[in-house]
Amino acid sequence: MSFRAKLLLVVLLTIFASVSVVAYGVTHYTRALFEELDAQRTEALVAQFNKEFAQRGEEIARQVENITNAEVTLRMAIDLERPNADQSLYVRDANGAAQDHGLDFVEFVNSDGTLISSAQYPARVGYKNDWLAPTSNWNETSAFLKREDLPTEVALSLSVVRTQPNVPKPFYIIGGRRLDKKFLESLVLPAGMRALIYQNLEPAFVPAALISAKGEVDQPERFASLVGQIQKQPHPLVHTVDWSSDPADAETFHAIPLSGRNNELLGIFLVGSSRRELVLLTNKIVKTAAGVGAGALFVGLLIAFWISARITKPVEELAEGAREVAGGRWDTRIDVHGRDEIGQLAAAFNDMTQTLAAQKERLLQTERVAAWRELARRLAHELRNPLFPMQITVENLQKARKLDAKQFLEVFNESTATLKTELANLNTIVSRFSDFSKMPAPQFVRLNVNESLRNAVRLFEPQFNEVGKPKITPEFFLTDPLTEIDADPDLVHRAFLNLVLNALDAMPAGGTLTLKTSEHDGNVRIEVADTGNGLTPEECSRLFTPYYTTKLQGTGLGLAIVQSVVSDHHGNISVTSDEGRGTTFRIDLPQRQAGAPETSREAATESKNTPPTLAAASD
């Protein structure tokens, strides 16, 4: 991934993250506000419930006090004070009192706790109500929740107990009303809210005990766990019920336990608040945030593209400059933009290339002088070899002038023959230098390297088994089939000849000539190894320098020609050598050359059949 792409991605991610954080923050803040609002509404409803509860209790208390203070009640209380009073006379009085005062439950209880009359459960008369006696100040108590056992059911009531003040012994009047859907109907609820009451009158969860202002509640079993939790720990709880897979249908319930006089859990008041508004609001915010985010991302994409282009342009120029330097353009210079770190880097790059170019120029001059000196030394050495015999021959001719004609003729013939030979040597030396200077440009055709290598080795077969000389054994490890490459058959053949000849010269005591071909990363690799004495590292480093040779007889041009051919084919040549074990030359030639024509194999073969110039391979 490019630096620009990375920078673009980072900027985009940053914008996306920023938008996401803002959207999340807004959503969270809005939801928190709504939750707070919902809590306030619930608190208000609970306060209203408590107020209604208190008002209903006060109203019941007034009615019970009216019954208490009624003359008929007073007469009953006085009558029942008598020993052996006939309690049966009052069995139905509670029912009448309940009807007269609009109460659901009315009971008259004697001073000993005996039930005299019951509107809601007449059959229970005569039984004791032991819970009344311990409290002496019933007239000062307010309404409380009470469990009412009825003939066929159990009910929850809001009840008040009063005593007749005009009789010596307490005479209890208990009155109450059901805490049922009528009570819930009296609560004024905001939109989206509803109130439920669970009458906790049985140990287990009873679905029918959960009532609303409309009567029974749908899916009451969904509240079983909530009721169970409060039954274990009677504390207010908040519970969300998902009525369907749609989150908007969910409802949050605030459950408030309702306790009786002895703190026993008798009921649970449930305030339900629909989450529809919250979900819709949240969805709207999320959608808005998504829209804004998308817009911001688009704008951010444009800005990020512009910014990344601005930032990466100098870096790309630097990279391009570095590539040019690597490609050999040591004098490359790049534009310097600004004075920031990138600008300073560009200026340093320019200084570096300027220094490198100067050093290279100096190095080239030094090498050029050295090369000329080496050439002069070699040339002088090569020329001196034939010149010295020629000088001796000429001096002999001068001396032979004093000899007789027969002897002079004999010396003259020998001298002219020697002069011809040495002149031929001079001509050969000049031709070699001339050939090296005239290395032609390669003509690329498709070439089978294995065949070219075999042809080159075949030319030296007479020398492998030459009588009187140590034997040299050629060994081939050629990959077959081998991909054909774009190459000049003549130049490659000349290079192979020089390598083989060099290897033969390295094995004066005989040995093994190993030739390998293989494919590596789109290149064809040729290895030529000998088992000679090997080379020192210094010799290896100077091996391809023109006119450098380790032999007594050699121009130092053979391996220079090989390197020139490999270089012209855009390949690489390297040498590895172990002293005493031999030397290996490794050539990598690309399979395809840029701009090389698709020449047929026949053309290549025809070209290869051209007789190689053995002289060019001599070293």
Partner 1 sequence: MSSEEKLREAVSLSLDRQTMANVLLQKQAEPAAALLPKWLSGYAFLFTMETNLEHAKEIRATLPASVATITGPLRLRVDALGDLAKLLGERVAVNPRQAAILVQVVNRAVSRGASDATTTSSDPAAGLHLFAWHYSSLSPRVALESFVSALNLGDSSGAVATSTDPEQLYARERKLLEERRLLPLVALPEYVGHGQNVRDWMPARWGEWHLADVWLDLPESSPAKPANSNGTETPLTQPPAAPPGAKP
Judged by the rule CB under 8 A, the positions of this chain that interact with partner 1 are 86-89, 91, 121-127, 151-152
Q: Which of 508, 519, 520, 591 is nearest to 550 (CA)?
A: 508
Q: Which residues contact 489 (CB under 8 A, 6 or more apart)?
A: 445, 447, 452, 604, 607, 608, 610
Nearer to partner 1, 3 or 127 (CB): 127
Quote the strand ranges of 49-153, DSSP E. 105-109, 115-118, 144-149
* Helical pair 449-458 and 601-608, crossing angle rounded to 10 deg: 10
Q: Which residues contact 152 (CB under 8 A, 6 or more apart)?
A: none
| Closest separation in Å from C-beta 232 to partner 1 | 21
| Closest separation in Å from C-beta 226 to partner 1 | 23
DSSP per-residue codes, 335-387 = ---SSSHHHHHHHHHHHHHHHHHHHHHHHHHHHHHHHHHHHHHHHHHHHHHHH
| Closest separation in Å from C-beta 86 to partner 1 | 8
Q: What angle do CA 419, 425, 430 make, to 5 degrees?
A: 125
| Closest separation in Å from C-beta 191 to partner 1 | 41
Nearer to partner 1, 114 or 483 (CB): 114
Helix (H, G, I), strand (E, B) or coil at 252: strand
C-alpha to C-alpha distance for 258 and 306, rounded to whole angstroms: 67
| Closest separation in Å from C-beta 122 to partner 1 | 6
Nearer to partner 1, 88 or 610 (CB): 88
Nearer to partner 1, 88 or 391 (CB): 88
Nearer to partner 1, 125 or 256 (CB): 125
C-alpha to C-alpha distance for 408 and 309, rounded to whole angstroms: 92
C-alpha to C-alpha distance for 414 and 393, rounded to whole angstroms: 9
Nearer to partner 1, 126 or 508 (CB): 126
| Closest separation in Å from C-beta 80 to partner 1 | 13
| Closest separation in Å from C-beta 230 to partner 1 | 22
Nearer to partner 1, 89 or 326 (CB): 89
| Closest separation in Å from C-beta 106 to partner 1 | 16
Q: Which of 309, 293, 307 is nearest to 11 (CA)?
A: 307
| Closest separation in Å from C-beta 196 to partner 1 | 25
C-alpha to C-alpha distance for 77 and 406, rounded to whole angstroms: 190
Burial (CB < 10 A; 0-12, 13-18, 19+), residue 1, is exposed
CA distances from 589 to 157, 234, 318, 565, 610 (A): 104, 89, 31, 10, 22
Q: How many CB atoms lie within 10 A of CB 233?
A: 9
Nearer to partner 1, 83 or 151 (CB): 151
Nearer to partner 1, 127 or 243 (CB): 127
| Closest separation in Å from C-beta 130 to partner 1 | 13
Burial (CB < 10 A; 0-12, 13-18, 19+), residue 369, is exposed
Nearer to partner 1, 152 or 263 (CB): 152
C-alpha to C-alpha distance for 145 and 173, rounded to whole angstroms: 16
